[in-house]
Structure 1
Protein backbone atom coordinates (compact mmCIF):
# COMPACT_ATOMS: atom_id res chain seq x y z
CA UNK A 1 0.00 0.00 0.00
CA UNK A 2 1.43 3.41 -1.01
CA UNK A 3 1.66 6.22 1.56
CA UNK A 4 1.57 8.90 -1.12
CA UNK A 5 -1.54 11.11 -1.33
CA UNK A 6 -3.38 11.67 -4.60
CA UNK A 7 -2.58 15.04 -6.18
CA UNK A 8 -5.16 17.79 -5.67
CA UNK A 9 -6.72 19.03 -8.90
CA UNK A 10 -7.60 22.74 -8.82
CA UNK A 11 -10.30 23.81 -11.29
CA UNK A 12 -10.44 27.36 -12.54
CA UNK A 13 -13.68 29.35 -11.98
CA UNK A 14 -15.72 30.30 -15.05
CA UNK A 15 -15.50 33.92 -16.05
CA UNK A 16 -18.80 35.87 -15.92
CA UNK A 17 -19.39 39.08 -17.81
CA UNK A 18 -21.10 41.78 -15.75
CA UNK A 19 -22.15 45.36 -16.39
CA UNK A 20 -22.23 48.03 -13.72
CA UNK A 21 -25.64 49.70 -13.62
CA UNK A 22 -25.98 53.45 -13.82
CA UNK A 23 -28.14 55.46 -11.46
CA UNK A 24 -31.20 56.83 -13.26
CA UNK A 25 -32.95 60.08 -12.47
CA UNK A 26 -36.56 59.83 -11.34
CA UNK A 27 -39.12 62.26 -9.99
CA UNK A 28 -42.83 62.39 -9.20
CA UNK A 29 -45.23 62.87 -12.11
CA UNK A 30 -47.05 66.15 -12.00
CA UNK A 31 -50.80 65.64 -11.70
CA UNK A 32 -53.65 67.67 -13.12
CA UNK A 33 -56.73 67.73 -10.89
CA UNK A 34 -60.28 68.89 -11.37
CA UNK A 35 -63.33 68.47 -9.16
CA UNK A 36 -66.23 66.38 -10.42
CA UNK A 37 -69.43 64.85 -9.11
CA UNK A 38 -69.51 61.46 -10.83
CA UNK A 39 -72.32 58.94 -10.45
CA UNK A 40 -71.34 55.44 -9.39
CA UNK A 41 -73.42 52.28 -9.57
CA UNK A 42 -71.70 49.88 -7.20
CA UNK A 43 -72.44 47.01 -4.77
CA UNK A 44 -73.33 48.45 -1.36
CA UNK A 45 -73.07 46.41 1.85
CA UNK A 46 -76.54 46.29 3.40
CA UNK A 47 -75.66 44.13 6.40
CA UNK A 48 -72.89 41.97 7.80
CA UNK A 49 -74.30 39.17 9.92
CA UNK A 50 -73.14 36.20 11.96
CA UNK A 51 -75.83 33.51 11.84
CA UNK A 52 -75.62 30.49 14.13
CA UNK A 53 -76.80 27.22 12.58
CA UNK A 54 -77.33 24.06 14.63
CA UNK A 55 -77.68 20.67 12.89
CA UNK A 56 -77.65 17.02 13.89
CA UNK A 57 -77.26 14.10 11.51
CA UNK A 58 -76.24 10.45 11.23
CA UNK A 59 -73.59 9.44 8.67
CA UNK A 60 -73.14 5.81 7.64
CA UNK A 61 -69.60 4.45 7.33
CA UNK A 62 -68.86 1.60 4.92
CA UNK A 63 -66.64 -0.24 5.73
CA UNK A 64 -67.19 0.20 9.44
CA UNK A 65 -64.78 2.34 11.44
CA UNK A 66 -62.81 1.61 14.58
CA UNK A 67 -61.37 5.10 15.04
CA UNK A 68 -62.00 8.56 13.58
CA UNK A 69 -58.68 10.15 12.60
CA UNK A 70 -59.63 13.55 11.22
CA UNK A 71 -62.68 15.54 10.11
CA UNK A 72 -62.45 18.62 7.88
CA UNK A 73 -65.37 20.82 6.89
CA UNK A 74 -66.40 23.46 4.34
CA UNK A 75 -69.67 25.33 3.94
CA UNK A 76 -71.45 25.88 0.61
CA UNK A 77 -74.27 28.42 0.31
CA UNK A 78 -77.09 27.69 -2.14
CA UNK A 79 -79.44 30.53 -1.20
CA UNK A 80 -79.23 33.95 0.45
CA UNK A 81 -82.55 35.74 -0.15
CA UNK A 82 -83.88 38.91 1.46
CA UNK A 83 -87.68 39.16 1.77
CA UNK A 84 -88.83 42.69 2.80
CA UNK A 85 -91.73 43.01 5.25
CA UNK A 86 -91.58 46.68 6.42
CA UNK A 87 -91.05 49.79 4.29
CA UNK A 88 -90.60 53.56 4.48
CA UNK A 89 -91.38 55.74 1.48
CA UNK A 90 -88.50 57.83 0.10
CA UNK A 91 -89.92 61.36 -0.20
CA UNK A 92 -92.84 61.50 -2.64
CA UNK A 93 -91.39 58.87 -4.96
CA UNK A 94 -92.51 55.33 -5.69
CA UNK A 95 -89.34 54.01 -4.06
CA UNK A 96 -89.15 52.63 -0.54
CA UNK A 97 -86.43 51.79 1.96
CA UNK A 98 -86.69 48.34 3.51
CA UNK A 99 -86.70 48.70 7.30
CA UNK A 100 -87.34 45.07 8.21
CA UNK A 101 -86.81 41.80 6.36
CA UNK A 102 -86.45 38.04 6.62
CA UNK A 103 -83.09 36.68 5.46
CA UNK A 104 -83.44 33.13 4.12
CA UNK A 105 -80.25 31.07 4.13
CA UNK A 106 -79.70 27.51 2.93
CA UNK A 107 -76.81 25.34 1.87
CA UNK A 108 -74.81 22.38 3.11
CA UNK A 109 -71.74 21.51 5.16
CA UNK A 110 -69.37 19.23 3.27
CA UNK A 111 -67.56 16.90 5.67
CA UNK A 112 -64.48 14.88 4.83
CA UNK A 113 -64.12 12.08 7.40
CA UNK A 114 -60.88 10.10 7.57
CA UNK A 115 -61.02 6.91 9.65
CA UNK A 116 -59.42 3.52 10.13
CA UNK A 117 -61.15 0.14 9.86
CA UNK A 118 -60.65 -3.10 11.76
CA UNK A 119 -58.26 -4.48 9.10
CA UNK A 120 -54.76 -5.10 10.37
CA UNK A 121 -52.38 -2.68 8.65
CA UNK A 122 -55.34 -1.42 6.65
CA UNK A 123 -55.39 1.77 4.62
CA UNK A 124 -56.88 5.02 5.86
CA UNK A 125 -60.47 5.33 4.61
CA UNK A 126 -62.30 8.46 3.50
CA UNK A 127 -65.98 9.39 3.59
CA UNK A 128 -67.42 12.60 2.13
CA UNK A 129 -70.89 13.65 3.32
CA UNK A 130 -73.04 16.72 2.63
CA UNK A 131 -75.09 17.87 5.62
CA UNK A 132 -77.89 20.25 4.50
CA UNK A 133 -79.19 23.19 6.52
CA UNK A 134 -81.78 25.92 6.04
CA UNK A 135 -83.42 28.67 8.06
CA UNK A 136 -84.02 32.39 8.29
CA UNK A 137 -82.87 35.36 10.32
CA UNK A 138 -84.83 38.47 11.31
CA UNK A 139 -83.27 41.76 10.20
CA UNK A 140 -84.62 44.95 11.81
CA UNK A 141 -83.83 48.57 10.90
CA UNK A 142 -80.91 48.65 13.37
CA UNK A 143 -79.31 45.63 11.68
CA UNK A 144 -78.90 47.41 8.32
CA UNK A 145 -75.77 49.41 7.56
CA UNK A 146 -77.55 50.81 4.48
CA UNK A 147 -81.23 50.24 3.80
CA UNK A 148 -82.20 48.17 0.74
CA UNK A 149 -84.16 50.12 -1.87
CA UNK A 150 -87.16 48.75 -3.74
CA UNK A 151 -89.37 50.36 -6.37
CA UNK A 152 -93.06 49.46 -6.42
CA UNK A 153 -94.80 48.71 -9.71
CA UNK A 154 -98.26 50.14 -10.38
CA UNK A 155 -101.28 49.17 -12.44
CA UNK A 156 -104.32 51.36 -13.25
CA UNK A 157 -107.57 50.86 -15.13
CA UNK A 158 -110.10 53.38 -16.46
CA UNK A 159 -113.66 52.62 -17.59
CA UNK A 160 -116.07 54.53 -19.85
CA UNK A 161 -119.78 55.32 -20.11
CA UNK A 162 -121.96 54.09 -22.93
CA UNK A 163 -121.74 56.35 -26.00
CA UNK A 164 -125.53 56.60 -26.45
CA UNK A 165 -126.74 56.10 -22.91
CA UNK A 166 -124.72 57.80 -20.16
CA UNK A 167 -126.68 55.92 -17.52
CA UNK A 168 -124.76 52.68 -18.07
CA UNK A 169 -121.07 51.82 -18.38
CA UNK A 170 -119.40 50.19 -21.36
CA UNK A 171 -118.08 46.77 -20.43
CA UNK A 172 -116.19 46.37 -23.72
CA UNK A 173 -113.93 49.41 -23.45
CA UNK A 174 -111.10 49.95 -20.93
CA UNK A 175 -107.90 51.95 -20.63
CA UNK A 176 -104.97 50.20 -18.93
CA UNK A 177 -101.72 51.63 -17.63
CA UNK A 178 -98.90 49.53 -16.19
CA UNK A 179 -95.74 50.90 -14.62
CA UNK A 180 -93.12 48.24 -13.99
CA UNK A 181 -89.95 48.87 -11.96
CA UNK A 182 -87.11 46.36 -12.15
CA UNK A 183 -85.12 46.26 -8.94
CA UNK A 184 -81.59 45.17 -8.14
CA UNK A 185 -81.80 41.87 -6.28
CA UNK A 186 -80.02 41.81 -2.90
CA UNK A 187 -77.54 38.96 -2.75
CA UNK A 188 -75.18 37.26 -0.31
CA UNK A 189 -71.43 36.86 -0.06
CA UNK A 190 -69.80 34.17 2.06
CA UNK A 191 -67.14 35.47 4.46
CA UNK A 192 -66.33 32.45 6.62
CA UNK A 193 -67.56 29.87 9.07
CA UNK A 194 -66.58 28.67 12.53
CA UNK A 195 -67.45 25.06 13.38
CA UNK A 196 -68.00 23.47 16.79
CA UNK A 197 -68.64 19.77 16.48
CA UNK A 198 -69.19 16.61 18.51
CA UNK A 199 -68.89 13.28 16.65
CA UNK A 200 -69.60 9.90 18.26
CA UNK A 201 -71.11 6.49 17.70
CA UNK A 202 -74.78 6.43 18.79
CA UNK A 203 -74.12 2.95 20.21
CA UNK A 204 -71.19 2.70 22.62
CA UNK A 205 -68.60 0.19 21.45
CA UNK A 206 -65.60 -1.45 23.10
CA UNK A 207 -62.06 -0.35 22.16
CA UNK A 208 -61.03 -1.75 18.76
CA UNK A 209 -64.67 -2.65 18.03
CA UNK A 210 -66.23 -1.38 14.81
CA UNK A 211 -69.14 1.03 14.36
CA UNK A 212 -70.93 1.83 11.12
CA UNK A 213 -72.81 5.03 12.08
CA UNK A 214 -71.34 8.36 13.09
CA UNK A 215 -73.66 10.79 14.84
CA UNK A 216 -72.67 14.44 14.67
CA UNK A 217 -73.88 17.56 16.41
CA UNK A 218 -72.62 20.72 14.70
CA UNK A 219 -72.87 24.34 15.79
CA UNK A 220 -71.74 26.59 12.94
CA UNK A 221 -71.31 30.36 13.12
CA UNK A 222 -71.84 31.53 9.54
CA UNK A 223 -70.39 34.91 8.54
CA UNK A 224 -71.85 36.61 5.47
CA UNK A 225 -72.51 39.94 3.78
CA UNK A 226 -75.80 41.05 2.20
CA UNK A 227 -75.32 43.45 -0.73
CA UNK A 228 -77.35 45.35 -3.31
CA UNK A 229 -76.19 47.35 -6.32
CA UNK A 230 -77.16 51.00 -5.75
CA UNK A 231 -76.42 54.29 -7.49
CA UNK A 232 -74.70 57.24 -5.77
CA UNK A 233 -73.47 60.67 -6.76
CA UNK A 234 -70.32 61.60 -4.88
CA UNK A 235 -67.86 64.45 -4.78
CA UNK A 236 -64.55 63.32 -6.21
CA UNK A 237 -61.38 64.70 -7.78
CA UNK A 238 -60.41 63.40 -11.20
CA UNK A 239 -56.64 63.06 -11.57
CA UNK A 240 -54.77 62.93 -14.90
CA UNK A 241 -51.02 62.70 -15.44
CA UNK A 242 -49.46 65.90 -16.78
CA UNK A 243 -46.63 65.50 -19.29
CA UNK A 244 -43.99 67.99 -20.33
CA UNK A 245 -44.88 70.10 -23.34
CA UNK A 246 -44.02 68.56 -26.68
CA UNK A 247 -44.79 69.50 -30.22
CA UNK A 248 -48.53 69.63 -29.35
CA UNK A 249 -48.00 71.71 -26.21
CA UNK A 250 -49.22 75.26 -26.03
Structure 2
Protein backbone atom coordinates (compact mmCIF):
# COMPACT_ATOMS: atom_id res chain seq x y z
CA UNK A 1 0.00 0.00 0.00
CA UNK A 2 1.58 3.24 -1.15
CA UNK A 3 1.29 5.97 1.47
CA UNK A 4 4.25 8.19 0.52
CA UNK A 5 2.03 10.76 -1.18
CA UNK A 6 -0.19 11.06 1.90
CA UNK A 7 2.56 11.87 4.39
CA UNK A 8 2.37 15.32 6.01
CA UNK A 9 4.56 17.06 8.54
CA UNK A 10 2.61 17.60 11.75
CA UNK A 11 3.82 19.88 14.53
CA UNK A 12 2.87 18.88 18.05
CA UNK A 13 3.36 20.60 21.37
CA UNK A 14 5.49 18.85 23.97
CA UNK A 15 6.84 19.76 27.37
CA UNK A 16 9.29 18.23 29.82
CA UNK A 17 7.84 17.15 33.15
CA UNK A 18 10.15 17.90 36.07
CA UNK A 19 10.61 15.36 38.83
CA UNK A 20 9.98 16.76 42.30
CA UNK A 21 10.72 15.43 45.75
CA UNK A 22 8.02 13.75 47.81
CA UNK A 23 7.64 13.79 51.57
CA UNK A 24 6.70 10.60 53.40
CA UNK A 25 3.72 10.88 55.73
CA UNK A 26 3.13 8.25 58.39
CA UNK A 27 -0.50 7.08 58.31
CA UNK A 28 -2.43 7.60 61.52
CA UNK A 29 -5.28 5.55 62.90
CA UNK A 30 -6.64 3.70 65.90
CA UNK A 31 -4.68 0.95 67.56
CA UNK A 32 -6.29 -2.30 68.58
CA UNK A 33 -8.00 -4.05 70.04
CA UNK A 34 -10.91 -3.19 67.74
CA UNK A 35 -13.31 -4.78 65.26
CA UNK A 36 -13.16 -3.68 61.62
CA UNK A 37 -15.23 -4.57 58.56
CA UNK A 38 -12.78 -5.17 55.72
CA UNK A 39 -12.48 -7.21 52.49
CA UNK A 40 -10.83 -10.52 53.43
CA UNK A 41 -9.10 -12.73 50.87
CA UNK A 42 -10.96 -16.03 50.64
CA UNK A 43 -8.87 -17.58 47.89
CA UNK A 44 -6.30 -16.69 45.25
CA UNK A 45 -6.07 -19.07 42.31
CA UNK A 46 -4.48 -19.43 38.89
CA UNK A 47 -5.96 -21.49 36.06
CA UNK A 48 -5.08 -22.12 32.44
CA UNK A 49 -7.65 -22.70 29.71
CA UNK A 50 -7.09 -24.11 26.24
CA UNK A 51 -9.23 -22.38 23.61
CA UNK A 52 -9.62 -22.96 19.90
CA UNK A 53 -11.85 -20.84 17.73
CA UNK A 54 -12.51 -20.31 14.03
CA UNK A 55 -12.92 -16.73 12.80
CA UNK A 56 -14.24 -15.68 9.39
CA UNK A 57 -12.79 -12.45 8.01
CA UNK A 58 -14.90 -9.95 6.11
CA UNK A 59 -12.35 -9.69 3.28
CA UNK A 60 -9.89 -12.12 1.75
CA UNK A 61 -6.68 -11.36 3.63
CA UNK A 62 -3.11 -11.20 2.42
CA UNK A 63 -1.44 -10.94 5.79
CA UNK A 64 -2.20 -10.53 9.49
CA UNK A 65 -0.65 -7.32 10.77
CA UNK A 66 -1.52 -7.42 14.45
CA UNK A 67 -3.67 -8.95 17.20
CA UNK A 68 -4.92 -6.98 20.21
CA UNK A 69 -6.55 -8.95 23.00
CA UNK A 70 -8.06 -8.17 26.39
CA UNK A 71 -9.77 -10.46 28.90
CA UNK A 72 -13.06 -9.73 30.66
CA UNK A 73 -15.14 -11.67 33.19
CA UNK A 74 -18.94 -11.54 33.08
CA UNK A 75 -20.12 -14.10 35.64
CA UNK A 76 -18.80 -15.74 38.81
CA UNK A 77 -20.42 -18.10 41.32
CA UNK A 78 -19.05 -19.89 44.38
CA UNK A 79 -20.21 -23.31 45.56
CA UNK A 80 -19.44 -24.19 49.18
CA UNK A 81 -19.17 -27.98 49.34
CA UNK A 82 -19.24 -28.22 53.13
CA UNK A 83 -15.46 -28.65 53.12
CA UNK A 84 -13.65 -26.25 55.44
CA UNK A 85 -10.68 -26.03 53.09
CA UNK A 86 -12.13 -26.14 49.58
CA UNK A 87 -14.90 -24.72 47.42
CA UNK A 88 -15.78 -24.72 43.75
CA UNK A 89 -15.90 -21.62 41.59
CA UNK A 90 -17.63 -21.11 38.24
CA UNK A 91 -16.29 -18.34 36.02
CA UNK A 92 -17.25 -17.20 32.54
CA UNK A 93 -15.97 -14.40 30.37
CA UNK A 94 -14.59 -13.57 26.97
CA UNK A 95 -11.49 -12.48 25.10
CA UNK A 96 -12.07 -9.22 23.24
CA UNK A 97 -9.90 -9.61 20.14
CA UNK A 98 -9.16 -7.06 17.43
CA UNK A 99 -7.50 -8.36 14.26
CA UNK A 100 -5.65 -5.99 11.95
CA UNK A 101 -4.99 -7.41 8.49
CA UNK A 102 -4.36 -6.39 4.89
CA UNK A 103 -6.58 -7.32 1.95
CA UNK A 104 -6.46 -6.78 -1.80
CA UNK A 105 -8.60 -4.10 -3.38
CA UNK A 106 -9.04 -3.09 -7.01
CA UNK A 107 -9.45 0.57 -7.99
CA UNK A 108 -9.62 1.55 -11.67
CA UNK A 109 -8.27 -1.86 -12.64
CA UNK A 110 -5.27 -1.29 -10.40
CA UNK A 111 -4.60 -3.70 -7.58
CA UNK A 112 -3.50 -2.45 -4.17
CA UNK A 113 -3.92 -3.38 -0.54
CA UNK A 114 -6.12 -1.92 2.15
CA UNK A 115 -6.02 -2.13 5.93
CA UNK A 116 -8.95 -3.98 7.51
CA UNK A 117 -10.11 -4.66 11.06
CA UNK A 118 -12.17 -7.43 12.59
CA UNK A 119 -13.36 -7.45 16.22
CA UNK A 120 -14.68 -10.61 17.85
CA UNK A 121 -15.53 -11.84 21.33
CA UNK A 122 -14.20 -15.32 22.13
CA UNK A 123 -16.20 -16.81 25.04
CA UNK A 124 -14.84 -19.14 27.70
CA UNK A 125 -16.11 -20.67 30.92
CA UNK A 126 -14.86 -23.17 33.47
CA UNK A 127 -15.43 -24.65 36.91
CA UNK A 128 -12.49 -25.20 39.24
CA UNK A 129 -11.89 -26.42 42.76
CA UNK A 130 -10.25 -23.72 44.88
CA UNK A 131 -8.50 -23.83 48.23
CA UNK A 132 -9.62 -21.44 50.95
CA UNK A 133 -6.97 -19.38 52.70
CA UNK A 134 -9.85 -18.03 54.81
CA UNK A 135 -13.14 -19.88 54.97
CA UNK A 136 -16.08 -17.73 53.77
CA UNK A 137 -18.85 -17.06 56.24
CA UNK A 138 -22.63 -17.19 55.90
CA UNK A 139 -22.63 -19.67 53.01
CA UNK A 140 -25.11 -22.48 52.46
CA UNK A 141 -23.48 -25.80 51.62
CA UNK A 142 -24.12 -27.27 48.16
CA UNK A 143 -25.61 -24.05 46.83
CA UNK A 144 -24.09 -21.65 44.30
CA UNK A 145 -23.76 -18.08 45.56
CA UNK A 146 -23.48 -15.25 43.03
CA UNK A 147 -20.21 -13.32 43.27
CA UNK A 148 -19.95 -9.67 42.26
CA UNK A 149 -17.47 -8.76 39.53
CA UNK A 150 -17.31 -5.10 40.44
CA UNK A 151 -13.80 -3.67 40.24
CA UNK A 152 -14.51 -1.50 43.26
CA UNK A 153 -14.69 -2.76 46.82
CA UNK A 154 -18.08 -1.21 47.58
CA UNK A 155 -19.99 -3.30 50.06
CA UNK A 156 -22.76 -5.40 48.59
CA UNK A 157 -26.29 -5.36 49.96
CA UNK A 158 -26.25 -9.16 50.38
CA UNK A 159 -25.02 -10.85 53.51
CA UNK A 160 -22.32 -12.78 51.69
CA UNK A 161 -20.73 -9.67 50.12
CA UNK A 162 -18.50 -11.75 47.85
CA UNK A 163 -16.28 -10.18 45.20
CA UNK A 164 -14.16 -11.61 42.41
CA UNK A 165 -11.23 -9.64 41.04
CA UNK A 166 -9.29 -10.45 37.88
CA UNK A 167 -5.68 -9.94 38.95
CA UNK A 168 -3.80 -11.01 35.83
CA UNK A 169 -4.50 -12.50 32.41
CA UNK A 170 -1.92 -13.76 29.93
CA UNK A 171 -2.69 -15.12 26.47
CA UNK A 172 -0.29 -17.31 24.53
CA UNK A 173 -0.71 -18.32 20.91
CA UNK A 174 -0.19 -22.05 20.48
CA UNK A 175 -0.90 -21.96 16.75
CA UNK A 176 -2.74 -19.99 14.06
CA UNK A 177 -3.91 -21.73 10.90
CA UNK A 178 -4.87 -19.65 7.87
CA UNK A 179 -7.13 -21.14 5.23
CA UNK A 180 -9.38 -20.10 2.38
CA UNK A 181 -12.98 -21.29 2.58
CA UNK A 182 -14.50 -19.11 -0.14
CA UNK A 183 -11.73 -17.57 -2.24
CA UNK A 184 -9.99 -19.55 -4.99
CA UNK A 185 -6.85 -17.43 -4.72
CA UNK A 186 -4.17 -19.50 -3.02
CA UNK A 187 -2.34 -16.33 -1.96
CA UNK A 188 -5.18 -15.14 0.25
CA UNK A 189 -7.20 -16.53 3.16
CA UNK A 190 -10.57 -15.67 4.67
CA UNK A 191 -10.67 -17.89 7.76
CA UNK A 192 -8.26 -18.31 10.65
CA UNK A 193 -8.27 -20.97 13.34
CA UNK A 194 -6.66 -19.91 16.61
CA UNK A 195 -5.30 -22.18 19.32
CA UNK A 196 -4.82 -20.12 22.46
CA UNK A 197 -3.78 -20.82 26.04
CA UNK A 198 -5.27 -18.41 28.58
CA UNK A 199 -3.77 -18.03 32.06
CA UNK A 200 -6.00 -16.27 34.60
CA UNK A 201 -5.15 -15.25 38.16
CA UNK A 202 -8.15 -14.22 40.25
CA UNK A 203 -9.00 -13.44 43.86
CA UNK A 204 -12.22 -14.13 45.76
CA UNK A 205 -12.86 -11.67 48.60
CA UNK A 206 -15.57 -11.27 51.21
CA UNK A 207 -16.48 -8.41 53.50
CA UNK A 208 -16.07 -9.70 57.05
CA UNK A 209 -15.88 -8.31 60.56
CA UNK A 210 -12.34 -8.89 61.79
CA UNK A 211 -11.02 -8.52 65.34
CA UNK A 212 -7.72 -6.66 65.30
CA UNK A 213 -5.65 -7.24 68.45
CA UNK A 214 -3.57 -4.66 70.27
CA UNK A 215 -0.27 -4.17 68.46
CA UNK A 216 2.78 -1.96 68.17
CA UNK A 217 2.48 1.48 66.57
CA UNK A 218 3.10 1.67 62.83
CA UNK A 219 6.77 1.42 61.78
CA UNK A 220 7.95 0.65 65.32
CA UNK A 221 11.29 -1.19 65.64
| TM tier relative to shorter chain | 0.5 to 0.7
Q: Report the alpha carbon displacement of residue 62 of structure 1 after superposing the two structures with TM.
A: 0.7
Match status 1:130 vs 2:121: yes
Which structure 2 segments of 5+ residues have no match? 1-24, 106-110, 142-157
Q: Report the alpha carbon displacement of residue 38 of structure 1 after superposing the two structures with TM.
A: 1.8
Larger radius of gyration: 1
C-alpha distance after superposition, 1:136-192 (max 9, x if no partner): 1012xxx22211112569xxxxxxxxxxxxxxxxxxxxxxxxxxxx63142210111
Aligned to 1:24: none
Q: Report the alpha carbon displacement of residue 61 of structure 1 after superposing the two structures with TM.
A: 0.3
Which structure 1 segments of 5+ residues have no match? 1-28, 88-97, 154-181, 240-250
TM-score by length of 2: 0.67
Q: How does 1:1-250 map to 2 (within 5 A)?
A: 35-87=31-83, 98-119=84-105, 120-139=111-130, 143-150=131-138, 183-197=159-173, 198-202=175-179, 209-236=187-214
Counterparts of 1:52 and 1:208, CA distance in 2: 36
Do the aligned residues in 1 keep the contact of 2:55 with 2:191 (CA within 8 Å)? Answer: yes
Do the aligned residues in 2 keep the contact of 1:73 with 1:112 (CA within 8 Å)? Answer: yes
Q: How many residue pairs align between the two structures?
A: 168
Counterparts of 1:230 and 1:146, CA distance in 2: 11
Once superposed, what is the RMSD of the aligned Cα atoms?
A: 3.0
SS at match of 2:55: strand
